[in-house]
Amino acid sequence: MASSPGDWYQSLPPVCKAWGTACMASAVASQLGMIDLSMFHWSLPLVIKKFQIWRLVTNFCFLGRFSFPFVVRMMMIARYGVFLEQQTFAGRTADFLWMLLITGGVLLPVPTLFPSVSFSPFAGASLAFALLYLWSRENPNANTSIMGMVSMKAFYLPWGMMALTMVMGGSVVPDFLGVMAGHLYYFLAVLNPAAGGPRVVRTPGFIHALVKAVWGIRRAPGGGGAGRGAGAGAAPAPRSFGGRGRRLGAD
């Protein structure tokens, strides 16, 4: 157990640490008026016509200014994202990153496909909620609660959080989009293969190369395109999804 905030921060897995740090930095910079958020939100025309490709990443790195919803989203990354990266995807950092890229890629075209619906120009909140959804599928029978007041099984936690958002007068659209994106990944990675369908979620080699270049993490020996387990010398990943016999994002 970490003995100080610094120790806890250093113990975080690389992807969640980088993403959470970016979200915190953007919140601080926005609060202090140091950045123009219009330069970072999602805009398909600006990406295509002006080649502002950084928006593909930066729109996921802003969870809002300091507020209760901001704290909740950061906690989702710190708790559910860290669990997934350290446990479900243990020894498979590239697979975890690929999962985020897939779920994020599902979220990006939604505003274009449904122009009549009002969406946030930043998709970070939805991506964080997707982590909560995937965690709930990973641990469906775990006992949990909402703010220590309403107890429930983890399987129902995403819907409980959406109900809390409605009670507090917030929009559930970002939460619903997170559930949609998370379930699509879950279907492709677990449900469809378990039903005898093709295995379509395979982490490409360039993602492994990126992880190696940025964090110095090599692909586990014997790992395939999607990363088959933790490999020699790494901690074994726990069985995922309540005995379905498949690990999230693995062959």
pLDDT band at 247 (very low <50, low <70, confident <90, very high): low
Is there a domain that residue 115 lies in? yes
State the average pLDDT for the chain: 87
Contact 69, 170 (CB under 8 A): yes
User: What percent of the chain is predicted at pLDDT more than 90?
Assistant: 75
Is there a domain that residue 226 lies in? no
| Res 245 pLDDT > 50 | no
Q: Tell me the mean pLDDT in the region 155-165.
A: 94
| Res 210 pLDDT > 80 | yes
Domain that holds residue 113: 67-215
User: pLDDT per residue over 75-113, tens digit each?
Assistant: 999 999 999 999 999 999 999 999 999 999 999 999 888
Is there a domain that residue 4 lies in? no
Contact 57, 22 (CB under 8 A): no
Q: What is the 3-state secondary structure (H, E, C) of the chain?
A: CCCCHHHHHHHCCHHHHHHHHHHHHHHHHHHCCCCCHHHCCCCHHHHHHCCCCCHHHHCCCCCCCCCHHHHHHHHHHHHHHHHHHHHHCCCCHHHHHHHHHHHHHHHCCHHHHCCCCCCCCCCHHHHHHHHHHHHHHHCCCCEEEECCCEEEEHHHHHHHHHHHHHHCCCCCHHHHHHHHHHHHHHHHHHHHHHCCCCCCCCCCHHHHHHHHHHHCCCCCCCCCCCCCCCCCCCCCCCCCCCCCCCCCCCC
Is there a domain that residue 7 lies in? no
Q: What is the pTM of this model?
A: 0.87
| Res 74 pLDDT > 80 | yes
Is there a domain that residue 146 lies in? yes
pLDDT band at 144 (very low <50, low <70, confident <90, very high): very high
pLDDT band at 61 (very low <50, low <70, confident <90, very high): very high
pLDDT at 3: 74
Number of folded domains in the chain?
1
| Res 229 pLDDT > 90 | no
Is there a domain that residue 228 lies in? no
Is there a domain that residue 227 lies in? no
Is there a domain that residue 53 lies in? no
